[in-house]
Each structure stands twice: as structure tokens, then as C-alpha cells.
Amino acid sequence: MMIEYTPIGVIHSAFKKLEGMPIQPAGAAGIKGRVEVFEDFREGLVDLDGFSHIVLLYHFHQGRGFNLKVVPFLDSRQRGLFATRAPRRPNPIGLSVVRLDRIEGGVLHIENIDILDGTPLLDIKPYVHEFDTQTEIRTGWLEKGRKTVSDRKSDGRFK
């Protein structure tokens, strides 16, 4: 079974290469970027400006193939791919929750962006606390590393 998607826009940021990027939005506080939504889809942006945060789903367009075991940025040991957020995946879909500053025409001005310049946008969803937030969670191997995420940058390991 093959599933075909077409980008609805493109994400613009200051990050031109995979090395030295923030690892997650938590490591990109205040870093600004833009999401350009293509003309054909702009009517669907109505009402989105009421939301302070949005979920971006996008296609990791750099890096080919994947390994089912990887050494993630926040660890020194191999981990199962699906227990990590590494970008090279069987279906390389990226997920970031970012702050939405304002919308001008078809352009979303966003903050806390950890996304490579030129990344194809697949979907935008409103971020809703009741839908997306969990409490009393366990985070396995990431239990230590997750707290250091804002100080860490990517390297070239997933090119």
C-alpha cells in the first residue's frame, strides 16, 4: 500500500544545514521563522489566529533511508528508532509544536522553530491542551537527557 501526499506549503527558517540546529522547539525558544501556505490552501487558515500554538507536520526532506537502531542526540547508546525523535525514519514525518505570533496573508509567523529551511509542510493542526497534553508520564531513556535539550545542538549524524 502506497500513500501519496503533496506539500501544502514550505517552512522558512535560518537553519540552512542539519548541523548546529536546535534539537527540539524547547531548544529554539524565541527563534523565529515563517510558514508559507500555498495559495490553494489559504482559505483553510481562517480562525487559526485564535490559537497561540500550532502543531506542524512536515516532511524531513534531507537525509535518505533509515536505521532501526540509532544513537540519538541526547544519549551515547543505541536506541530503537521509534523510541527516539531522530529524523531519518521509514516515513520521515516531523512533528513540532510552535508558537504562532500572527498570520499575514498566507504566511504564518512562528516562534520556537527547530526546522530546516525549505522543509515541505504537510499539515497544520491547532494545539489544544485537552487533546495533546499528558501528565504523569514516564520517558524511559530520555529521563535524564530531556532536561538538557535546550542546551544541545544537532550534529551531522542523521544526514
Positions 24 through 83 that interact with a second copy (CB under 8 A): 24-26, 41, 43-53, 55, 57, 59, 68-69, 79-83
Partners of 34 in the β-ladder: 12, 109
Nearest by Cα to 80 from 66, 63, 95 = 66
Cα three-residue angle 148-151-157, rounded to 5 degrees: 90
Q: Does 127 bind a second copy (CB under 8 A)?
A: yes
Residue 148 φ/ψ, nearest 5 degrees: -100, 5
Task: Please identify which residue in 30, 65, 129, 151 interacts with a second copy, judged by CB under 8 A.
Answer: 129
Binding segment (CB under 8 A) for a second copy, from list 13-21, 95-103, 151-159: 95-103
CA distances from 50 to 88, 96, 115, 125, 130 (A): 33, 19, 23, 12, 16
Task: Please identify which residue in 118, 128, 153, 156 interacts with a second copy, judged by CB under 8 A.
Answer: 128
Q: Does 124 bind a second copy (CB under 8 A)?
A: yes
Nearest by Cα to 150 from 85, 74, 67, 84 = 74
Residues that bind a second copy (CB under 8 A): 1-8, 24-26, 41, 43-53, 55, 57, 59, 68-69, 79-85, 89-91, 93, 95, 97, 99, 120, 122-134, 136-143, 146-147, 149-150
